[in-house]
Amino acid sequence: MLLDVKNLSIAYQGKPTVSDVNFDLQAGEIMAIVGESGSGKTSVIRAILGCLSGNGQVEGGQINFGGRDIAHLNNKEWLSIRGKDIAMIFQDSGNMLNPVQTIGKQFVEYLQLHSSMSKSEAVEKACALLTRMNLPDPQRVMESHAFELSGGMRQRVGIAMALAFAPKLLLADEPTSALDVTTQAQIVDELMQVVHEAGSAMIIVTHNIGVAAHMADKIMVMAGGKVVEYGSTAEVIEHPQADYTRTLLQAVPEIGGTRYVG
């Protein structure tokens, strides 16, 4: 078992926000966490990465990663895990990039910070990762600043950086919500391909149950800081038990009288 979350509870400024979350994930699996804004989706994956915002804290439960409880690590212990074993793709990777440095400078510094690569080796690896993400002319991308790239290109850069050290677990927080529909579909397919090729596991946070059904092996539905449904994608989509899940499924648009989910 790669990841086993047991009775996870999260509080902000002492106020309980997420309670009693349980799920597990094997290497090679993709799980989607679905729910409306404020349901606790992002808090769960930020807790797994040890980067809860503000005064957020894990108040109870376990986050067992590779057989080790990582719920209460110190900063030094987290530095040995983040980026290498667990990596995250944010909603808009452009906001995570330094606007005054070129993509290449940031990418190379990141690679060298977490490895013993020479500068030339880091440049070569960065270009290879950008190429893997279907970015044309990776050398031009390396020489560009974030504001000179489209949203889809910035997001691919963020994914490339997250994949740099072949993490065992990839966390994705609404990675396509800020993109146009065509680019969304391309990035979803690229993420699925990367996970399957590398044998990594991924948790993707999304408000779109259609995206979840297409990508994931498992779906966890959250509302009000609690899990209202959890199971295989087929179980959740074909035989939803919670009223909230049925409401999400009904919200998927119909085309010609047919609702396309998955």
The model's pLDDT over 109-132, given as tens digits with 9 standing for 90+, comes to 999 988 899 999 999 999 999 998
Question: What is the rounded CA–CA span in Å between residue 27 and residue 25?
Answer: 7
Round the average pLDDT of the chain to a whole number and report it.
90
Residue 260: the pLDDT is: 46
Return phi, psi of residue 84, to 5°.
Answer: -95, -55
pLDDT at 258 > cutoff 70: no
pLDDT band at 2 (very low <50, low <70, confident <90, very high): very high
Residue 254: the pLDDT is: 57
Q: Select the more confidently predicted residue: 150 or 231.
A: 231
Q: What is the pLDDT of residues 67-84, one digit of tens each?
A: 999 999 988 899 889 888
Contact between residue 252 and residue 210 where contact means Cβ atoms under 8 Å apart:
yes
Q: What is the pLDDT of residues 88-101, one digit of tens each?
A: 988 877 778 999 99
Helix H or strand E segment including 208: none
Residue 186: the pLDDT is: 81
Q: Are strands 86-89 and 254-255 parallel, antiparallel or unpaired?
A: unpaired
Contact between residue 221 and residue 248 where contact means Cβ atoms under 8 Å apart:
yes
pLDDT at 259 > cutoff 50: no
Mean pLDDT for 160-182 is 86
Residue 130: the pLDDT is: 94
pLDDT at 49 > cutoff 70: yes
pLDDT at 19 > cutoff 90: yes
